[in-house]
Chains A and B, each alone.
Chain A
Amino acid sequence: MIEVHALTKRYGRTVAVDDLSFRVEPARVTGFLGPNGAGKTTTLRTLLGLVRPTSGTATVLGMPYRELDEPTRRVGAVLEATSYHPGRSGRNHLRVAAAAGGLTRSRVDEVLELVQLSADAHRRLRGYSLGMRQRLHLATALLGDPEVLVLDEPANGLDPAGMRWLRDLLRRLADGGRTVLVSSHVLAEVEQIADEVVIIHRGRFVAQSSTAELAARATAATRVRSPQAARLQEALAGQQIGVRGTGDDALAVDAAPERVGELAAAHGVVLHELVAERATLEEAFLELTGGETTR
């Protein structure tokens, strides 16, 4: 379990995290969502005892990370800035981590197998691709078979197969009762991986909800093309639905496609195109916060 309470971190005049509070429960995958610079990395680094908060607290398993006795066995973490010595081999990178965490060498081979890097384990990290390094860092996080997993943008550099593999892995871990927190700035990614999302923006809390709920709100926009665009626009406006013309025969509508289609049918309007617009993350925020991102 992870608990962030009234957390604030300032870097000089920049407020990276601003009075942020949320809880992450075990047995599910929680997404940690926010645009670039929202303060995700800063929050996670504070949680892991790497960055000192200006005020407030962040605890894992009920205590500050620095007070954990066997951190490697209890919390696994992959942080965004991939850190590695280019001259070390993949296996040796893990051997160092295993030694520091008091784990056996056989565990190193197990996690290498798990992240499918066994064949490349002897190679120097200088020659690893981004995705391979990401897997290596995941392997490091999994070394101690931890109860809590904290991943900062783990999808970076993973190919579709890698993404799928990661999704399945996190699902299995969460189903096994572990706490999994995964940050991302890509809504679509989080939607696929997470059961629940915590959204922050400019260092502040915006919302916490189930992924399904978020997805429903985020898709509430439709692009529609019709030779009778003007009539459709009138009909939509008559229902208090936001609508703008975006071309000769095209409209952007602030409603789900089902609603637009039904209205068009009711008014006998011919449609040439009806597309659910996936709202951007920014729009999802606005939707969730009623247009007010600064509480």
Chain B
Amino acid sequence: MRLLIAELLKLWTTPRTTLGLLLGMLAVVALGTVGMLAAATDEVRMSQTILDDLLSFAAVSATFALIVGVLVVTWEWRHGTMTETFLAAPRRERVVGAKALAAAAAGAVLAAAAVALTLAVAYVWISDEAAVDFGAVWATVGRLVLAGAIWGVLGVGIGALVRSQVAAIVLVFVWFFVLEPLLRVLIEGSDYLPGAALQALTEGGDDVLSSAGGALVATVYAIAAALLGTLATLQRDVA
């Protein structure tokens, strides 16, 4: 518990990075939603479809959650603060666990912020609220927050495995924006790849995976990465 507090405090006391990521994400979400609404020629009427389309921009929060997870581990290696962290908590699996929880919390907060901004934009832009099913909106919100939390954990796992900040972030981008999209075109059964699984979760299910199925597969990836990362961290010399 105290390790979790320490991890959250680490995020809180590096406001430039933390706020920078939050504002960066909000900028992306704002540009996406406002751009989409502005591009519509007719007057936009509030409908479930429109709202779902808008909320899909908020799904970018998962990518930011992933980066936060990576940073939470790799900046400690980069700045050498892992030494002090392990001196205070020589049982390293607890440190990785605390980092996973902190990143999950941060990912959930990012997702919630992205959703809040999207809903605010929708509210300001569109006057007609009659057609909205709030139950469905809340379900989407819940799925996005869950996705942010899961991807935060995945980020910690990747960071713990790779350890180099630059390498980990390059790896994440190459995989999610180049390799996996390619594989998805080329191979069948690629619906079980991590990016696809997460998409199934955020978009409420596809042909193969339901949203619950997507959540499950994504969680398996995240936990597997965190476990491997823990093993790697236990072996490592901090020299």
A interface residues, Cβ below 8 angstroms from B: 11, 41-42, 45, 48-52, 65-66, 68, 71-72, 75, 77, 79, 81-89, 92-93, 95-97, 99-102, 140
Note all chain A residues with C-beta closer than 8 A to B16. Answer: 87
Q: Are A99 and B6 in contact (CB under 8 A)?
A: yes
Note all chain A residues with C-beta closer than 8 A to B3. Answer: 100
Question: Does B45 sit within 8 A of A, measured CB to CB?
Answer: no
Note all chain B residues with C-beta closer than 8 A to A82. Answer: 80
Of B29-37, B87-95, B187-195, B218-226, the one contacting chain A is B87-95
Q: A51-B239, A82-B80 are in contact. Are A72 and B88 (CB under 8 A)?
A: yes
Note all chain B residues with C-beta closer than 8 A to A51. Answer: 237-239
Q: Are B6 and A96 in contact (CB under 8 A)?
A: yes
A48 CA / B82 CA spacing, docked (Å): 13
Q: Are B83 and A97 in contact (CB under 8 A)?
A: no
Question: Does B42 sit within 8 A of A, measured CB to CB?
Answer: no
Question: Does B173 sit within 8 A of A, measured CB to CB?
Answer: no
Q: Are A100 and B237 in contact (CB under 8 A)?
A: no
- In this complex, the member of B6, B15, B239 whose beta carbon has the largest number of chain A beta carbons within 10 angstroms is B239
Q: Are A92 and B13 in contact (CB under 8 A)?
A: yes
Q: Are B75 and A83 in contact (CB under 8 A)?
A: no
Q: Are A83 and B81 in contact (CB under 8 A)?
A: yes
Measured CB to CB, the closest approach of chain B to A97, in angstroms, equals: 6
Q: Are B81 and A85 in contact (CB under 8 A)?
A: yes
Contact with A along B72-108 (1 / 0, CB 8 A): 0001000111111111111100000000000000000
Which of A49, A95, A100 is the one whose CB lies under 8 Å from B13? A95
A52 CA / B90 CA spacing, docked (Å): 12
Note all chain B residues with C-beta closer than 8 A to A71. Answer: 87-90
Q: Are B80 and A50 in contact (CB under 8 A)?
A: no
Measured CB to CB, the closest approach of chain B to A277, in angstroms, equals: 37
Note all chain B residues with C-beta closer than 8 A to A72. Answer: 87-88
Q: Are A89 and B239 in contact (CB under 8 A)?
A: no
Note all chain B residues with C-beta closer than 8 A to A81. Answer: 80, 83
Q: A42-B239, A50-B238, A86-B79 are in contact. Are A100 and B90 (CB under 8 A)?
A: no
B interface residues, Cβ below 8 angstroms from A: 2-3, 5-6, 9-10, 13-17, 75, 79-91, 235, 237-239
Q: Are A100 and B85 in contact (CB under 8 A)?
A: yes
Note all chain A residues with C-beta closer than 8 A to B75. Answer: 85
Q: A45-B238, A50-B239, A99-B5 are in contact. Are A83 and B14 (CB under 8 A)?
A: no
Q: Are B90 and A66 in contact (CB under 8 A)?
A: yes
Q: A85-B79, A99-B6 are in contact. Are A77 and B239 (CB under 8 A)?
A: no
Query: Can you give 12 A-B contacts (C-beta < 8 A)?
Result: A48-B87, A50-B87, A50-B239, A72-B87, A75-B87, A77-B87, A83-B79, A84-B81, A88-B14, A95-B13, A97-B88, A100-B6
Measured CB to CB, the closest approach of chain B to A25, in angstroms, equals: 23
Note all chain B residues with C-beta closer than 8 A to A87. Answer: 14-17
Which of B79, B85, B87, B239 is the one whose CB lies under 8 Å from A84? B79
Note all chain B residues with C-beta closer than 8 A to A96. Answer: 6, 9-10, 13
Measured CB to CB, the closest approach of chain B to A152, in angstroms, equals: 10
**Can you name the residue of chain B whose Cβ is closest to the Cβ of A140?**
B84
A93 CA / B13 CA spacing, docked (Å): 8
Other 11 A-B pairs with CB < 8 A, given A83-B79, A96-B10: A50-B237, A71-B88, A79-B83, A82-B80, A84-B79, A86-B79, A87-B14, A88-B14, A96-B9, A100-B6, A101-B88
